[in-house]
Amino acid sequence: MKVLTEGHLYSLAYFEDQKSLPQTIQFIQKVPTSPGSTDLETVSDGTTNEEVLAMMIDRMKYLQAKFPCRENAIVITKLEESLMWLNKRTEDRKARNVEGKQIV
């Protein structure tokens, strides 16, 4: 993995074919609409942590069905827990009317 833009853009090498061009993963990037503003605007559209976790959960469940083991089961549980906490954070921010704003 190589960081192209900290926190937003990553380059991922192929596992077996190291000569192929890497895959990139772009996360959504937002910045304040103006200096001092808490409102944010998207400067680079992309995916979210939640989408990546959902993908990983699906993949691990697929692998667990083919090659079941305790470790896979634990990974699935921890990924699901991570997704649950991110969703809880979003719901809490919505309830406080700060979702999509640069406010703690």
Per-residue pLDDT of 30-67, as tens digits, reads 999 999 899 999 999 999 999 999 999 999 999 999 99
Q: What is the pLDDT of residue 32?
A: 93
Q: What is the mean pLDDT of residues 63-92?
A: 98
Q: What is the pLDDT of residue 102?
A: 87
Which residues contact residue 63 at a Cβ distance below 8 angstroms, ignoring those fewer than 6 apart? Answer: 72
Tell me the domain boundaries of the chain: 1-47, 48-97
Q: Residue 29 burial (CB < 10 Å; 0-12/13-18/19+)?
A: middle
Assign 11 a pLDDT band (cuts: 50, 70, 90).
very high
Does the predicted model carry a pTM greater than 0.95? no
Q: What is the mean pLDDT of residues 67-79?
A: 98
pLDDT at 3 over 80: yes
Q: Where are the beta strands (DSSP E) in 6-104?
A: 9-12, 23-26, 29-32, 40-44
Q: What is the mean pLDDT of residues 57-78?
A: 98
Assign 19 a pLDDT band (cuts: 50, 70, 90).
confident
CA distance 58 to 13: 21
One-letter amino acid of 85: W
